[in-house]
């Protein structure tokens, strides 16, 4: 009896494995469980990874950050930069059969703009109205020229949801999202899995080679890697930098990376309430000295096994927006000491708050040791992230180690942090000239013109240094050797077009 049962179990097991091989089911390990699956309401990075397979956008990006067609096939700007006309792809349907057309685009933008729960409002704020100028053509009228809009359409604000489904489900759309991407929604078990199935009527179906995709949130990086090695996953995102060597050394696994669009740095309280009134907040020279005391390359080697990119600007050195006239400075302790002396200090106490996770803490301990050699007595204040954020936004801090996940358009990495009224300007840095330059960069559609404005602003910011940039994280993926065709993107997304199992 026992042997029979065992045999039956083994058979069932064998049968299920055999099925998986035939059906081309892709299993992807995520670092977190996404929040609500409604592109208008969601706010997590990880949710966007799921959308990359579920919801098509008006436009997409290339690995070099160029904007390319997706649901929009072409576009043009009016002379004054206040009207954007887009031609739409014909013959596209949503997963529920609703046709995609100009009316659908209008309904989507209206939803992003007006739904009370929408988190996209700030991203589509510049759109005054959407006009349907043809069955497959729309014209966006803007309140002011907005060069960042196309990049917004390459993300959640540009994701097109079935108007029939949003009308029916309202704010509950996330329970059963209906888009027009390569895969349609099947089921979600909170904190366990999200299952998508190939959408047969996808406009680009020939490029899709999986029958189903299952996303499995596995927060522990060690366990996530163990799952990949055990064959329970086919690929995973956000491999820990410390595991990079292990993956590269494993013949059964493939390592892939792309420098992210974001940055990590130390935000200094320059003028955010009373606590901004201190030598470190008042004297730019002290901040320059602090920056010079750091060996950014060594930090990268020691803490991140050399996998990340040392940085000194809001854009990574790999970005076309990086200002090459201000390269990552080499460590210069003598110069740092000199600057401190000029400011009138031999030593200086600085309290830096840091999120209480092992990696950030370790990184700041290295910073602490380096800055000490120049005379900085750094006190680390380890805090749980939500509290850190609250203190930072309230101005209850001297300096804070935080980062930014990054945006495709350069504006997203700098404007809201460095302009006087910037929404996340927690240092409360304010310089009218920087405001002018960053506003100008935002309104021009001429790339060279924009670059000039950013470079000019960078020159001022390199002096004033309200944020001491440290490094740019690298997105690291680990894949099973049997997968081919995967392209790493700097936005950290997993695009499954042309990805397949080796035959």
User: Whose Cβ is closer to another protein: residue 230's or residue 448's?
Assistant: 230
Q: Which of 73, 85, 98, 171 is the binder for another protein (CB under 8 A)?
A: 171
Q: DSSP E strands: which ranges in 146-205? A: 183-189, 193-198
Q: Under a CB-based contact definition with an 8 Å cutoff, are residues 239 and 246 in contact?
A: no
Q: Is 128 in the site for another protein (CB under 8 A)?
A: no
Nearer to another protein, 13 or 68 (CB): 13
User: Which member of 26, 28, 33, 431 binds another protein (CB under 8 A)?
Assistant: 33
Question: How near is the Cβ of 421 to another protein at its closest, in Å?
Answer: 10
Site for another protein, residues 131 to 150, rule: CB under 8 A: none
Alpha carbon of residue 272 to chain centroid: 27
The number of beta carbons lying within 10 Å of the beta carbon of residue 321 is 22
Nearest to 312 by CA among 123, 302, 299, 62: 299
Q: Between residues 30 and 105, which has the closer beta carbon with respect to another protein? A: 30
46 φ/ψ sector (left φ>0, alpha ψ -120 to 50, else beta): alpha
34 or 375: CB nearest another protein = 34
Distance of CA 113 to the CA centre of its chain: 22
Among 73, 318, 405, 498, binds another protein (CB under 8 A): 405
Phi, psi of 314 (to 5 degrees): -65, -20
Q: Binding another protein by CB under 8 A: which of 26, 28, 31, 36?
A: 36
Query: Which residue spans within 331-437 are E strands per DSSP?
Result: 348-355, 376-383, 399-404
Stretch that binds another protein, among 29-37, 61-69, 105-113, 334-342 (CB under 8 A): 29-37
Nearer to another protein, 106 or 193 (CB): 193
259 phi, psi to nearest 5 deg: -65, 130
What tokens appear for 324 in the block? 């090459």
Least distance from another protein to the Cβ atom of residue 449, Å: 26
The site map against another protein for 42-81 (x = CB under 8 A) is -xx-------------------------------------
SS3 content of the chain, % helix, strand, coil (to 5): 35, 25, 40
Cα separation, 218 vs 492, in Å, equals 17
Q: Which helix (H) or strand (E) holds 137?
A: strand 137-142
* Helices H / strands E in the chain, number of each: 16, 21
Site for another protein in 411-450 (CB under 8 A): 416, 423-424
> Of residues 175, 205, 359, 372, which one binds another protein by CB under 8 A?
175
Q: For another protein, what does the binding mask look like between residues 194 and 233, x meaning CB under 8 A?
A: ----------------------xxxxx-xx--xx-xxxx-
Characterise 395 by phi-psi region: left (phi > 0), alpha (psi -120 to 50), beta (else): left
* Contacting another protein within 235-294 (CB under 8 A): none
Site string for another protein, 363-392 (x = CB under 8 A): ---------------------xxxx-xx--
Pairing of strands 348-355, 399-404: parallel
Work out which of 116, 249, 358, 432 binds another protein, going by CB under 8 A: 116
Interface mask (CB under 8 A) for another protein, residues 6-25, using x and -? ---x--xx--x---------
Count residues near another protein (CB under 8 A). 49
Look at the block and give the residue holding tokens 């099925």. 19
Q: Which helix (H) or strand (E) holds 286?
A: helix 284-292
Of positions 290, 304, 404, 477, contacts another protein by CB under 8 A: 404
* Residues binding another protein (CB under 8 A): 9, 12-13, 16, 33, 35-36, 41, 43-44, 116-117, 119, 121-122, 171-172, 174-175, 189-193, 216-220, 222-223, 226-227, 229-232, 384-387, 389-390, 393, 404-405, 416, 423-424
């Amino acid at each position: 009896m026992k042997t029979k049962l065992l045999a039956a179990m083994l058979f069932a097991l064998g049968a299920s494995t055999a099925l998986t091989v035939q059906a081309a089911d892709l299993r992807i390990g995520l670092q977190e469980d996404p929040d609500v699956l409604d592109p208008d309401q969601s706010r997590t990075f990880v949710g966007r990874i799921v959308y990359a397979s579920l919801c098509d956008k008006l436009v997409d990006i290339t690995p070099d950050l160029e904007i390319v067609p997706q649901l929009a096939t072409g576009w043009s700007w009016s002379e004054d930069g206040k009207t954007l006309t887009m031609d739409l792809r014909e013959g596209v349907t949503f997963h529920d059969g609703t046709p995609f057309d100009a009316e659908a685009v209008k309904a989507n933008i209206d939803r992003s703009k007006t739904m009370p729960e929408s988190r996209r409002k700030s991203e589509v704020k510049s759109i005054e109205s959407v006009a349907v100028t043809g069955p497959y053509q729309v014209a966006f009228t803007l309140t002011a020229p907005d060069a960042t809009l196309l990049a917004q359409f390459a993300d959640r604000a540009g994701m097109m949801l079935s108007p029939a489904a949003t009308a029916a489900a309202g704010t509950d759309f996330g329970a059963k999202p209906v888009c027009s991407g390569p895969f349609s929604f099947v089921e979600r078990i909170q904190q366990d899995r999200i299952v998508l199935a190939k959408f047969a009527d996808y406009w680009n179906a020939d490029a899709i080679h999986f029958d189903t995709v299952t996303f499995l949130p596995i927060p522990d990086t060690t366990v996530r890697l163990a799952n990949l090695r055990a064959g329970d996953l086919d690929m995973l995102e956000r491999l820990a930098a410390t595991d990079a060597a292990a993956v590269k050394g494993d013949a059964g696994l493939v390592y892939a990376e792309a420098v992210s669009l974001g940055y990590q740095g130390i935000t200094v309280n320059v003028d955010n309430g009373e606590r901004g009134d201190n030598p470190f907040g008042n004297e730019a020279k002290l901040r320059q000295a602090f920056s010079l005391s750091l060996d950014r390359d060594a930090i990268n080697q020691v803490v991140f096994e050399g996998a990340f990119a040392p940085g000194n600007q809001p854009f990574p050195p790999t970005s076309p927006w990086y200002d090459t006239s201000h390269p990552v400075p080499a460590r210069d302790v003598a110069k740092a000491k000199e600057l401190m002396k000029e400011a009138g200090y031999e030593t200086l106490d600085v309290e830096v708050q840091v999120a209480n996770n092992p990696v950030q803490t370790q990184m700041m301990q290295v910073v602490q040791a380096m800055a000490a050699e120049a005379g900085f007595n750094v006190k680390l204040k380890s805090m749980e992230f939500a509290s850190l954020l609250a203190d930072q936004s309230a101005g209850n801090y001297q300096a804070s180690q935080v980062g930014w996940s990054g945006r495709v358009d350069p504006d997203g990495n700098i404007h809201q942090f460095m302009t006087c009224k910037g929404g996340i300007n927690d240092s409360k840095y304010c310089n009218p000239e920087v405001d002018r330059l960053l506003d100008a960069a935002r309104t021009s559609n001429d790339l060279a013109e924009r670059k000039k404005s950013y470079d000019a602003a960078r020159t001022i910011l390199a002096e004033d240094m309200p944020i001491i940039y440290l490094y740019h994280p690298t997105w690291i993926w680990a894949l099973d050797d049997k997968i081919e065709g995967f392209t790493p993107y700097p936005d950290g997304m997993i695009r499954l077009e042309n990805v397949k199992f080796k035959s």
